[in-house]
Structure 1
């Protein structure tokens, strides 16, 4: 694999694993087999920077800018929240840290935002004009707002408070469905309340549902009582890497 203007590189930084691969930006697909390494218990910035340097070194032909997802709010390359990673990330200029460690231009983006960019460019929302809201249903609820292909970063719509129910992700995330042993119908009611709230606030053209549970979308999406079209994500666990690579090369 040789780098070209149409090749990017993405790294998906998670609380349990870090995954990276070169990406064909024309096709929105991996250009080589993905490498995964376990996120160490001590996931401080310097340690992760060294881990990423070792990961990228496995692709010696790659010379393009690198995109990195972070499970937190990112403003101008600086991480300002850390839900599932070491708290020492808060206040870290991750763009500068990784650029120095990898000797390459590196650009950091929120993980849900990366997935959203990938789904709009290559996946379930490809060709959709207007406002698309991509939500990831997992331990919490991640979100990405994309208008005519332009990302509105750090939306964090899983933190919206639903009247009488508190934070949306504490009541309607997939982890809550599992913990409370909710039926698909019971969970669909909660999701309906959540998506109805998003409809009232944003009037989107389309919802895209990601996260591992999207594989079972036929069990719950048809039960939702909302007016906006809603579809499952198509890139699934590849979306973070592909979206990060796309973000770094925009």
Structure 2
């Protein structure tokens, strides 16, 4: 089965056609800038641009930077607040004429890792953390997703955890891998107390730098890097149809 996966973020809207037999792209990836302001009307126009680019009339899977319940947007952090309570799934279906499924962006990235990446075939409780401009989380038990977790928002060092542990903070404060790695470890210890995962998969841009901070993480936590990296959002968005 082939599905157009769309990964919508605060800075970019990316898409590719995905073969769900193997989770691989069968087209080039196309990226447009996320409109400023990121209003529903402007972003729907960009979705149509992506559809037209691929001349697509099949199913569409979308990852979106918000909590999503029954296809409806419930939060808005890096997008316009007017998105809240908008029926995203129905909006894309109406705009494109395509069967559409939508889910939180980190949840779909987690789906990709569980089905085609580092978590493939694994049972137990697995936590996927995306460390980027913030911290996104996707929690699975025996391959089943528990949607819309916000473990980057737990209290840590007097603020939300992502305010001190996100990769953007490491870059902004020019933290050494040791300083940031130890800070990350402290956060992982706190998260472990909440959900007791058998495995933690680290995604986001820092997944490919895992060897730089691996030695600062408690071995008892069982932490590994994600495998799909920048493809995870698109592949996961499409894999909602599996």
| Band the TM-score falls in, shorter-chain normalisation | over 0.9
Segment drifting more, 66-75 vs 172-181: 172-181
Rounded Cα–Cα distance in structure 2 between residues aligned with 1:97 and 1:202: 34
Q: Structure 1 residue aligned with 2:35, among 37, 40, 60? A: 40
CA RMSD of aligned residues (A): 1.3
Corresponding position of 2:228: 235
DSSP-derived class of the 1:227 partner: helix
Counterparts of residues 28-107 of structure 1 (less than 5 Å): 28-60=23-55, 62-107=56-101
1:191 equivalenced with 2:177 (yes/no): no
1:219 equivalenced with 2:212 (yes/no): yes
Corresponding position of 2:163: 170
Q: In the TM superposition, what is the alpha-carbon distance from 1:82 to its structure 2 partner?
A: 1.2
1:153 equivalenced with 2:143 (yes/no): no
Corresponding position of 1:179: 172
Q: In the TM superposition, what is the alpha-carbon distance from 1:168 to its structure 2 partner?
A: 0.9
Corresponding position of 2:132: 138
Query: Gaps spanning 5+ residues in structure 1: where?
Result: 1-5
DSSP-derived class of the 1:189 partner: helix
Corresponding position of 1:3: none
Rounded Cα–Cα distance in structure 1 between residues aligned with 2:133 and 2:49: 29
Q: Would the alpha carbon gap of residues 189 and 165 (structure 1) be closer, same or farther in structure 2, given more than 3 Å must change?
A: farther
Rounded Cα–Cα distance in structure 2 between residues aligned with 1:58 and 1:180: 39
- TM-score, length-scaled by structure 2: 0.95
Q: Is the 8 A contact 1:165 1:171 kept in 2?
A: no
Q: In the TM superposition, what is the alpha-carbon distance from 1:226 to its structure 2 partner?
A: 4.8
Q: Is the 8 A contact 1:192 1:226 kept in 2?
A: no
Segment drifting more, 33-42 vs 211-220: 33-42
1:40-92 CA-to-partner distances (Å, cap 9, x unmatched) read: 213211221122122112223x4432111111111111111111111111111
DSSP-derived class of the 2:122 partner: coil
1:202 equivalenced with 2:202 (yes/no): no
Q: How many residues matched?
A: 242
Q: In the TM superposition, what is the alpha-carbon distance from 1:236 to its structure 2 partner?
A: 0.7
Q: Is the 8 A contact 2:57 2:97 kept in 1?
A: no
- TM-score, length-scaled by structure 1: 0.92
Counterparts of residues 92-131 of structure 1 (less than 5 Å): 92-131=86-125
Q: In the TM superposition, what is the alpha-carbon distance from 1:192 to its structure 2 partner?
A: 1.1
DSSP-derived class of the 1:143 partner: strand
DSSP-derived class of the 1:182 partner: coil
